[in-house]
Chain A
Amino acid sequence: MKAKNEVRIEFLSKSQNEAFARVAVAAFAAQMDPTLEEIADIKTAVSEAVTNAIIHGYEDSEGVVRINARLYDDKIVIEVIDNGKGIEDVELARQPLYTSKPELERSGMGFTVMETFMDEVEVTSSVGKGTCVRLTKRFKKANGEMGRG
Chain B
Amino acid sequence: MRLLHQRKRELLIVQMEGELDHHSADTVRKELDHLLEDPTIIHLLLNFKKLQFMDSSGIGVIIGRFKTISQRGGKIGIIEVNNQIQKILEVSGLLKIVNIYDSLQDALDNMLGVK
Contact = CB atoms under 8 A, between A and B. Distances in A.
Interface in B37-58: 53, 55-57
Contacts of B29: 105
A43 B63 contact: no
A51 B61 contact: no
Interface of B is mostly: helix
B56 A19 contact: no
Contacts, number: 69
Contact of A113 (B56, B61, B63, B64): B56
B21 A18 contact: yes
Interface stretch (B4-12, B83-91, B96-104, B107-115): B83-91
Interface of A is mostly: helix
B59 interface: yes
A109 B57 CA distance: 9
Contacts of B22: 15, 18, 47, 51, 54-55
Interface residues of A, number: 26
B86 to A, nearest CB: 11
B64 A105 contact: yes
A5 interface: no
A15 B23 contact: yes
A40 interface: yes
Contacts of A47: 21-22, 53, 55
What are the 3 tightest A-B residue pairs by CB atom distance, in nearest-first order?
Answer: A15-B23, A107-B59, A40-B84
